[in-house]
Amino acid sequence: MKLNISNIFSYNKTRTHLNFRFLGIKFSCPNYERKLLNREYKKEQDKYDLSHIKNAKKIIAFIIPSNEMVNGGIMSIFSICKYSREICLDAECLIITEPGEYTYTHNHYFKNEEKIYRWEQFINNLSNVQELILHIPEYMCKERFYKHLTRKDKKILKNIPSFQINILNQNIELMPEPKKINKLKELTTNITQTIAHDRYATQEVCNKWGIPTHLLSVHIDLKGYKSYSFEEKEKIIVLSPDDNYMKQQIIEKLKIEMPDFKLIIVQNMTFDDYMDLISKAYFTITFGEGMDGYFTMPYYVGSIGFSIYNERFFPSIEWDQLYSVFKNYTDMQKNITTYMKNLINNKNLYTSTIKEVYNMHSFLYSEEKFINNLKKFYSRNYKF
């Protein structure tokens, strides 16, 4: 009889706790390594000069989770902050970790110049502010943000003469239902939302949540990353870390029918390492929302990303006709290795596929469009 040790003992670590299960009994203890690191972060933050916050009349602040990570949502927040600073010269633009015990000082996973502040450094130095725009990711708006505010925090925010909360709706599947954001209305009635994807930047979405809605889209600067030519590429297929009910079946098919290729799941790597990896690889497959960085970014460094058509995120039905976009995961599982072999054996097909997707994506998400949309938002010229 083969004994499966995972049925007897399991272990996982979160940023705050170590969790164990032994013989069906679950217990946990604090992650002291994270606590010690958090103390060091706070010591470094305590050295910050906060005079620019104390003296500011106008502040534009972006709330981020308190653990250092990299994903499309985080990178887009940093990007929006950077461009906001260039557009709104009369405002202090800050990135702040969410209310709570944990924080950090700089995101080392991708290129950026942002100094990160903790919530207390921000909220306790707003004595002179007359206008505040607070950008909050959609998944924090259900209760995560509000429930960690103290009575003093709420009083400070309510007393600001012009206080606006903008919900960064980067993934409509994570956006709380309208009634779930009612707590935010206790802080201010001036609530808006900005949309990351063209597909759900609609009047219907505006009407559902009953707040002004504006298409902001996203722009992440991918200039400067090396592209490897078709001849230089390595036999690598990169896989997104997302969980999916068909993922394992597709992986098994790749192993059997593409035995010379190395399969690499994206995990524990910086954004620079990720960009270099997908550039070297022939292919990348996303198992996530579809219209995400695992699908689109390979085209900016001369590689091909595969996805399935997701009508909630892809801008239009035209994307369903692309060679690298499948109708569903069953379609992908059935045909992906055939498509990959066709691309490997036909350089012209490989390069033309890259060009077609790149042109479609860069037109939709150009830097110029993004800046114009951001300017309209700060001018309160909302689309819906």
Q: Order of strands across the sheet with 213-215?
A: 116-117, 92-97, 58-64, 131-137, 162-169, 191-195, 213-215
Per-residue confidence of the chain (384 residues) as pLDDT tens digits?
444 444 444 445 555 554 555 445 555 555 567 788 888 888 888 899 999 999 999 999 999 988 887 777 888 889 889 989 999 999 999 999 999 888 888 888 888 889 999 999 999 999 899 999 999 998 888 888 888 999 999 999 999 999 999 999 887 778 889 888 888 888 999 999 988 877 777 888 888 888 888 888 776 777 778 889 999 999 999 998 888 888 889 889 999 999 999 998 888 878 888 889 989 999 998 888 777 878 888 888 889 999 888 877 777 788 888 888 888 889 989 999 999 999 999 999 999 998 988 888 877 777 788 888 889 899 898 788
96, exposed or middle or buried, with CB in 10 Å at 0-12, 13-18, 19+?
buried
DSSP 312: T
Q: What is the largest CA-CA distance in the chain?
A: 71
pLDDT in tens, 224-267: 788 899 999 999 999 988 888 888 898 899 999 999 999 988 88
* Same-fold call for 52-219+373-378 versus 234-364: yes
Q: Counting Cβ atoms within 10 Å, is residue 175 exposed (0-12), middle (13-18) or buried (19+)?
A: buried
Note the CATH number of domain 234-364. 3.40.50.2000
Fold (topology level) of 52-219+373-378: Rossmann fold (3.40.50)
Radius of gyration of the CA atoms of the chain, in A: 23
pTM of the model: 0.76
For residue 264, give the DSSP letter: E
In Å, how far from its chain's centre is CA 102? 20
Q: Which residue type, as a one-letter code, is found at position 185?
A: K
- Where exactly are the structural domains of the chain? 5-31, 52-219+373-378, 234-364
Report H helices in the chain: 32-45, 51-54, 72-87, 119-123, 151-158, 203-209, 247-257, 271-280, 293-296, 329-344, 347-364, 367-378
Angle between helices 329-344 and 347-364 (to 10 degrees): 120
**So what's the pLDDT on residue 16?**
52
